[in-house]
Structure 1
Amino acid sequence: MEEKNQHIRIDHWIVAVLLFAMASIAFINVLSRYLFHFSFAATEEITINLFVWMTVIGSGIAFERGGQLGMVTLYNIFPKKFKKIIILFSSGLSAILFLLVDIYTIQAIYFELKIFKATSAGLGIPVWIYYIGVPILSIFVFQGIYRDASSKLDGLERKGER
């Protein structure tokens, strides 16, 4: 029987915890509406921001699994040498895109800390706290891009295509 390499993946656990937290918060809010005829205003704010964080981590997981959009038909036309270039180019563009997202998010955090000092409507906490998750959690996106490119390049070598 083949032994699978099963190790704890922190990104999968974070997504699971965030999803559980979102579902729990939404469930508690629904219960409070029906039982006490009272809704917690901050629950929407929290769930939206947890959803953003979960989406960032999920993007990394999708990259790793090859779940992002691709032009497979066009890719399959090219010989092996060009496929390597396409893989590297595509991965580079993806990394640059998320690097730009991180740069602009860090810039927004800086502006929130130094200039705007805005607070959230529901909880009254500084909004930069919600923003900070994007550049931190995008580590998982870069990891997913790298793993995707590595597995595609390894697969290309193993196939021994033209």
Structure 2
Amino acid sequence: MKILDYFEEGCIVILLAFMSIMNFINVVARMFSQSFSFTEEITVIAFVWVTMFGIASAYKYSAHMGMSFLTDKMSRKNQAKMVLFSTVCSCTFALLLFYYGCLTVYHESLLHAVTPSLGVPLESESLSIPVGAVLILIRSLQSGLRTYLSLQQHGKEAA
């Protein structure tokens, strides 16, 4: 699990560095009246992957926005119930995202859809959705379980 602990961040760093280099190369090329349209395609594909990895990473750190002004007023027991409810909702979302992401990849593969400049199969971009959904599911379960157990532990100490 240690590899998975830093997987998203590692991918984000590599992809952001790659995107920066591609954009820098394109800017320099434009100064010499050249333009590499393929860099825009690569950057968009990398950006979609970074977004999905970023969502999973935010789940890992419980960094998504929440409605804590409601739950902070609840007892620890009710807070734990809300964490379970939130985790179930997040997992349901991830499963739906996975299902429809797989459908998208499947349909794009049937159509043999490719990017205009490079001719890269569009599945390379759309595959980020089911892969990201699996990571979101894992991170949602980890975060929900960690928070739930923490609330249970604090509830027992307070009693």
State TM-score, norm by structure 2: 0.88
1:97-129 CA-partner distances (Å, limit 9, x unpaired): 122122111111111122x22211121122112
Partner of residue 30, structure 2: 33
Structure 1 residue 90 and structure 2 residue 83: aligned?
A: no
CA–CA distance in structure 2, aligned partners of residues 43 and 88 of structure 1 = 43
**Partners of 2:113 and 2:7 in 1: how far apart?**
32
The 1-side partners of 2:76 and 2:100 are apart by 36
Return the match for 1:132 from 111, 127, 133. Answer: 127
Which residue of structure 2 lines up, in the alignment, with residue 53 of structure 1? 49
Contact map agreement 2:56 2:135 (CA 8 A) in 1: yes
Superposition deviation, residue 76 in structure 1: 1.3
Quote the offset at 1:95 in angstroms: 1.4
Q: Which amino acid aligns with 2:117?
A: G
2:108 is matched with: 112
CA separation in 1, counterparts of 2:106 and 2:100?
10
Q: 1:21 aligns with which of 18, 23, 30?
A: 18
Between stretches 56-65 and 142-151, larger displacement belongs to 142-151
The CA deviation at 1:55 is 1.0
Q: In 2, are the aligned partners of 1:106 and 1:135 still within 8 Å (CA)? A: yes
Which amino acid letter does the alignment assign opposite residue 126 of structure 1? P
- Cα distance, 1:89 vs. partner? 0.9
Which residue of the partner structure matches residue 98 of structure 2? 102
Task: Name the structure 2 match of 1:123.
Answer: 118
Q: Decide whether the 8 Å contact of 2:97 with 2:133 is kept in 1.
A: no
Q: Which moved more, 1:98-107 or 1:130-139?
A: 130-139
Q: Which runs of 5+ in 2 are unaligned?
A: none
Task: Find the aligned partners of 2:106 and 2:60 in 1 and give their Cα distance.
Answer: 31
Specify the code of the residue in structure 1 equivalent to 2:130. Answer: P
Q: Percent identity?
A: 27
Q: 1:17, 1:24 → 2: CA distance?
A: 11
What is the RMSD computed on CA atoms of the aligned residues?
Answer: 1.8
Query: How many equivalent pairs are there?
Result: 155
* Separation of aligned partners in 1, 2:24 and 2:135: 28
Letter in 2 for 1:44: E
For the residue of structure 2 that corresponds to 1:110, the secondary structure is helix
Structure 1: stretches of 5+ with no match in the other structure: 1-5
2:113 counterpart letter in structure 1:
A
Normalising by structure 1, we get a TM-score of 0.86
Spell out structure 1 runs of 4+ moving beyond 6 A. Answer: none
Query: What residue in structure 1 maps to residue 148 of structure 2?
Result: 153
Q: How far off its partner does 1:96 sit?
A: 1.2
